[in-house]
Amino acid sequence: MKTIGVLALQGAVSEHLKAIESVGATGVAVKHPDQLEQLDGLIIPGGESTTMRRLMKKYDLFETLQTFAKSGKGVFGTCAGLVLTARAIDGSQDETLQLIDTTVVRNGFGRQKDSFEAMIEVKGIEGPAFSAVFIRAPYISATGEQVEILASIDDKCVAARQGKTLVTAFHPELTGDTRLLELFIDRL
């Protein structure tokens, strides 16, 4: 049985934990660096990326998460997690974890009032289209050669992976569809 942590600084932590448990894995709310040792993978949820970065620095999680990923553990970043895991943020010098070779556009689809839901095809997921919930969503504007694009909307990349790092611009934990979570866990 895999143990998957959810970075519990901000965002839809309980929804992610519920999804993890529903697929037969063990979910752990992560607030301290020493908790990472027991995990097979970690989800960095949505929220506000600047606030999350500050809290990660405050609680000594920033560098610890980089070490965690470099040791071969999986990381799944959703929405703000996509921003935090990127190599760079377009138009910003904000520090990122640099876990996936992407450049992202923060709030790329607009503000809160521009939030939407769309049915998308995701490479590697069988069955019907995936219901994707976009809330002040970013998108990926550039990818390195090792990055596999999994889904796009209007020529904007909204899901990708590189090695054991998976990112989405949307919130799969809000739909009840666990196929992306299962795709993440299967690669651990």
Q: Please identify every residue annotated as catalytic.
A: 79, 171, 173
Locate 102 and state its tokens: 């992407």
- Of 170, 83, 188, 173, the closest CA to residue 120 belongs to 170
Q: Please, what's the b/e burial string for 99-133 (b: 16 or more CB within 10 A of its CB; e: otherwise)? A: bbbbbbbbebbeeeeeeeeeebebeebeeeebebb
136 is in an annotated binding site: yes
20 is in an annotated binding site: no
47 is in an annotated binding site: yes
Distance CA 162, CA 70 (A): 12
135 is in an annotated binding site: yes
Binding-site residues from annotation for L-glutamine: 47-49, 106, 135-136
Binding-site residues from annotation: 47-49, 106, 135-136
